[in-house]
């Protein structure tokens, strides 16, 4: 497999070299986006591998979850417990622009790879550290995956309260991806700042900070004002399948009666609860009468109301805009075929972006990466493999 090179033209980040020490999602997603934007991202994986190599459908020796978050990256495997491992990392750091890690805050320093050590090797290095509760705080020691932050940040409670359901986790790892995207913004800001001051820096992103910062509903909780917000959007059953209508049900009823001529079955003498019940029954009846999405589209357009199909995610490739914009693309599955993967969301008028190849096997680019980055002679690389400093997945690479 030929991996993309930094000489490719048209990618906005084509000159950046990135060491990705992260695992699971919060760090790898940022690395994936940097790769999609043209950076040369080398994932440094431990001998026991990223745990996401256990998740998802395995095709060509690569599981789906790992593939989605690590596509386009090169891969070397270093045993940090081995003699000479830290020195090898220092050699790589000397050539790197960015280093990403999402261990607990004490882990990198214990390996001798804390920012204070790395900046001595490369003062221009920009290091992104993503952790659940940030650096140097009372809970910095706590391990944290997205569900922990969903619970601590109040998302699970709000979901249960508003949906009248038991406490349960969200169906996506939003705390991870929010932290990753905020980390990406911080990295790119630091790259620009480095051009001004000539120095890199350490970026401390806490998942709980990123979650709170992007929680557009939090002010209701902080100010005890949830009753001042709009009513929730409702999903309705139609003859063409369930749809969600993005409109306060009171406003929707107003539109149905004023624009479409629906009769109001209530009168002024009725109690409010009876009025609400009768009007809701009328809306249910109205929605159930639709027989096609085209009919729904025409009717909602007459009212200028936003709506959407309640879609099974397995059918996302059939969604019209997703298909038109290529939000899901096919890439090499490393087994003679292709497999679907999410595409980069960035669309530039004068630059390229996009997934640049499948993810790598553990240790796949040991010789290639070390030769290109630090001019390591092949015999020295072989010696480090023999000593166990460098490792690879023998099942997929031999």
List residues with catalytic annotation.
Answer: 176
Q: How far is CA 394 from each of CA 50, 83, 183, 209, 256, rounded to the nearest angstrom?
A: 16, 22, 34, 41, 65
E strands within the chain? 17-20, 40-45, 58-59, 62-63, 74-78, 98-101, 126-131, 201-206, 234-236, 243-246, 306-309, 328-332, 338-342, 390-391
Question: Shortest CA distance to 332 belongs to which of 77, 75, 62, 49?
Answer: 62
Counting Cα atoms < 13 Å in the Cβ hemisphere of 299 gives: 20
The CA radius of gyration of the chain, in Å to the nearest whole number, is: 26
Task: Quote the CA–CA distance of 47 and 363 in Å, as a whole number.
Answer: 9
C-alpha to C-alpha distance for 28 and 79, rounded to whole angstroms: 19
CA 108 to chain centre: 23
> 170 and 159 in contact (C-beta within 8 Å)?
yes
Residue labelled with tokens 């969600």: 244
| CB contact set of 77 (below 8 Å; sequence gap of 6+) | 44, 45, 46, 47, 362, 363, 366, 390, 391, 392, 393
Length of the chain: 398
Which DSSP string do the residues of 105-148 spell out, in sequence order?
TTHHHHTT-SHHHHHHH-TT-EEEEEESS-SSSTTTTS---HHH
- Whether the Cβ atoms of residue 67 and residue 83 lie closer than 8 Å to each other: no
Q: CB–CB of 98/173 below 8 Å?
A: no
Quick check: 177 and 25 in contact, CB under 8 A?
A: yes
Report how far apart, in Å, the C-alpha atoms of 357 and of each of 19, 36, 161 are. Answer: 18, 9, 43
Please say whether the beta carbons of 228 and 154 come within 8 A. no
Q: Give the whole-angstrom CA distance, residue 135 versus residue 116.
A: 14
* Maximum CA extent, the chain: 92
């Amino acid at each position: 497999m030929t991996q993309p090179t930094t000489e490719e033209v048209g990618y906005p980040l084509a000159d950046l070299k990135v060491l990705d020490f992260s695992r699971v999602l919060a760090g790898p997603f940022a690395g994936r986006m940097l790769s999609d934007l043209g950076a040369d991202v080398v994932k440094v994986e431990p001998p026991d591998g990223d745990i996401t190599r256990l998740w998802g459908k395995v095709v060509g020796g690569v599981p789906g979850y790992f593939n989605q978050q690590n596509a386009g990256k090169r891969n070397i495997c270093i045993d940090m417990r081995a003699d000479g491992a830290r020195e090898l990392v220092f050699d790589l750091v000397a050539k790197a622009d960015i280093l990403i890690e999402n261990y607990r805050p004490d882990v990198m320093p214990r390996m001798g790879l804390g920012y204070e050590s790395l900046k001595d090797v490369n003062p221009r290095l920009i290091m992104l550290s993503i952790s659940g509760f940030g650096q140097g705080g009372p809970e910095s020691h706590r391990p944290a995956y997205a569900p922990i932050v969903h619970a601590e940040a109040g998302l699970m409670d709000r979901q249960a309260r508003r949906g009248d359901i038991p406490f349960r986790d969200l169906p996506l790892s939003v705390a991870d991806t929010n932290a990753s995207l905020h980390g990406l913004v911080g990295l790119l800001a630091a790259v620009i700042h480095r051009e001004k001051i000539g120095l890199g820096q350490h970026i401390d992103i806490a998942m709980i900070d990123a979650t709170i910062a992007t929680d557009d509903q939090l002010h209701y909780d902080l100010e005890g004002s949830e009753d001042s917000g709009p009513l929730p959007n409702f999903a309705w059953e139609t003859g063409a399948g369930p749809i969600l209508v993005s409109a306060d049900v009171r406003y929707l009823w107003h539109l149905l009666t004023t624009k479409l001529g629906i009769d109001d079955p209530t009168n002024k003498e009725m109690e409010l609860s009876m009025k609400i019940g009768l009007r809701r029954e009328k809306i249910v009846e109205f929605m159930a009468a639709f027989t096609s999405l085209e009919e729904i589209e025409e009717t909602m357009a007459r009212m200028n109301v936003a709506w959407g199909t309640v879609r099974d995610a397995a059918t996302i490739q059939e969604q019209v805009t997703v298909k038109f914009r290529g939000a899901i693309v096919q890439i090499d599955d490393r087994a003679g075929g292709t497999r679907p993967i999410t595409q980069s969301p960035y669309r530039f008028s004068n630059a390229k972006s996009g997934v640049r190849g499948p993810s790598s096997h553990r240790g796949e680019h040991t010789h290639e990466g070390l030769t290109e980055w630090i001019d390591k002679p092949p015999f020295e690389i072989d010696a480090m493999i023999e000593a166990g400093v460098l490792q690879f997945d023998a099942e997929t690479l031999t």
